[in-house]
Amino acid sequence: MASFETIGNKEKAIAIISSSGNLRKDKEKAKKLMIKSKNIKSVLLKTSKRKGKLRKRQYKLILGEKNTDVIHKEYGYLIKLDPQSVYFSSRELTERQRIASKVKKNEKVLVMFSGAAPFIIAIKKKQPSSYVCGIELNKKAHEYAIENIKLNKLEKVKLIQGDVTKLVPKLKEKFDRILMPLPKTADKFLELAFSKIKKNGIIHYYYWGKEEEYDPIKKLITKKAKNCKKKIKILRIVKVLPYAPRVYKLAIAIKILN
């Protein structure tokens, strides 16, 4: 895995690096990155883990422009954001494409914790006939999402800012597919997803875990389903990205049988 992440495009990009414990060495690394890649205009140093309801990480600008707004480009579509104020991982582009490729014509899709709308954009570009609803707590991310839908000229998209626990119960429609890209605490919202999924619908549930934890994870999901009187089948577990030694971000596909 690369020791740094870049977010942006050929004209302007932001590099994000992890701390070595020595700020002088970190600044030297930042300088080398900017010399090697002329499109890198700013380098941010991670100073905390992701935390809080908004999944935000704290950064320190150690070199370059103060304005870290950037338009990220992947697979031909655009995502505007500031990594200092919005959760986003450029390393998950393959996962976004994997999910988008599974969406069928005219599907109704709910993206919980939708951020600046990267999953929504990927889905709509792959399957324009789909209807996608995104709910995001972070007001700044929601603003970027609105801008990104316009930037990519997308239609049949509904964006709602607020808490999923309050907003999902108010949704009148049910969905063919629900995405839950909040791996740390997604289990707290599974009942909400079960309440809005159609028969034969798919829930994409994200989780951080080790391979030996697969069975406990399955048991947790099954227990939540039983509480909601849902019969389910766990289709597959995919490793999205490594998170820590032997710990992965996992994508779990859950099919609803009733």
CA distance 113 to 206: 12
pLDDT at 169: 97
pLDDT at 206: 95
28-79 pLDDT, tens digit per residue, is: 999 999 999 999 999 999 998 877 777 788 999 999 999 999 999 999 999 9
The helix (H) or strand (E) run that includes residue 148 is: helix 139-151
The helix (H) or strand (E) run that includes residue 139 is: helix 139-151
Q: Please give the sequence-ordered ranges of beta strands (E in DSSP) within the chain, or none if there are none.
A: 4-8, 13-17, 40-46, 59-64, 70-74, 77-81, 108-112, 131-136, 157-161, 175-180, 197-209, 232-244, 247-256
How far, in whole angstroms, is CA 116 from its chain's centroid?
A: 9
Helices (H) and strands (E) in the chain, counts: 7, 13
Report whether 250 contacts 207 (CB < 8 A).
Answer: yes
Residues 6+ apart with CB under 8 A from 107: 127, 130, 131, 176, 177
pLDDT band for position 3 (cuts 50, 70, 90): confident
155-188 pLDDT, tens digit per residue, is: 999 999 999 999 999 999 999 999 999 987 888 9
Kindly compute the dihedral angle of the four CA atoms of residues 2, 7, 13, 19, in this order, to the nearest 10 degrees.
-50
180-209 pLDDT, tens digit per residue, is: 999 878 889 999 999 999 999 999 999 988
Range 22-28 average pLDDT? 95
- Amino acid letter, residue 47: T
Go through the domains of the chain in sequence order and give each one's CATH number: 4-68 (3.30.300), 90-256 (3.40.50.150)
106-149 pLDDT, tens digit per residue, is: 999 999 999 999 999 999 999 999 999 999 999 999 999 999 99
pLDDT > 60? residue 1: no
pLDDT at 209: 85
